[in-house]
Structure 1
């Protein structure tokens, strides 16, 4: 009896779940039926890899519809005709433009509609079937797909050049370079050891200079005192020099004034007194000569000069 009651409970739950699922499906279908959409055409000149029926259509990143059909343009096989269904009320203007974009890391593509200024004109351009047509532009997806062969060719070229670079001779040269680098590293290591020893000597030298610091400070203080003394002496000497220059200027002014006052007597002296002075000097020279001769006579024979030239002999008496 208990087993039968459990079956009834499970069956009732399953029936309720199925009924709820049917109601939800009917509600979603009703919403989709009530939602009216407008058809647009987009013509792409490049590849539409990754785009498929049911891919989203976004206006400035907001989902507004889906892709309903993808096929080659029967009138121009170099481009792809994409038909999209967009919700009514989407502001697709005359200057709106469509492009293909990649979504996330899944690699899928979607249609991105951008542009359209507020207050602009609504889109009115149509194709041969009378369906509104949105202009397109090359997208980043197209650029990637178009540049992929070039990237592959460049990668192959780089690989080929690397193969040519790593030939036997270059490998030998690279080996020699590595050996030289190893030798240089060893030399640098030895030089580093010598550098450490030099640094130790420099530290010891600096330690020895610690005691010199106070003496150097005292020497600097004495030098400052000497410079201060020299500066004071220089200032005093400068003052004395200025006073001497002022004294010399006053002396010069006095001499100039004296010369101006005695210009006439000097002129008279040079005219007549100088001649008389010359005669006086000549007479004094003669007098000096005569005095010199007199002095010579006195020195040679003073008695003859004093008592005259008469000489009498000494009387000699006989025995």
Structure 2
């Protein structure tokens, strides 16, 4: 009976110990800190990154990776959900990269910025269900891998070209090319001797060119002086007391004199000439009618009515 009571007590103790252990484990593992979710979108490889991987901001752990999944809208695109503490300064200038811990190869998400001021990263106002997105840039290792692949491709291409150059069929063409270069070098060596006479004439040509330039400069100076003289003459002619102004004044005075004095005199003289012509015409008519009047003068005028010797004219017969 005593053995059974000891076993029962041991069983209750074991159950109680297990219960307390589970409670403490749940209490220690439960995170009471409210975290802010973000989403990282990338089409690059995320090898070595696992769930609950650390998220660090400038080396300080601020959260964990909570989900890794493929995008249902863009094929081949990977969506990483991270949750960080609210005090993490995530802005529009923040970007993410994949970093690796030591030699273990365990990846974590490294947050950083371009040292540029930016606004706080918020969710899209049009789609409230979408999380704020942080761009993922290539890490140093990924960049080295890409550059290494490009270098390997260039090395392979260079090797192929060298192999093609060292092909057994190419030495003959290579020797022919070298021979052509040698002949070209010989011909180029003869060029200085051919151009030596022209070079010897070059100093004289330079002197003539300088003399021509001096003549052109003198001609330019003379033309400038002539232009200045023309401008000065034009200013003098167009001045208010210049010759053109005097000529205009004289012409105005002459026009006024002709209009006010000469023309009235000419009109008066014309009237007197007309009167003289009428008298001359009348005298000529009298001479034509009575030529004797030159010797005997004009007869006396006939008496008019009421004067002595007036005789009424006879009436015409009926």
- TM band (smaller chain): 0.3 to 0.5
Q: TM-score, normalised by structure 1?
A: 0.40
Q: TM-score, normalised by structure 2?
A: 0.40
More helix per residue: 1
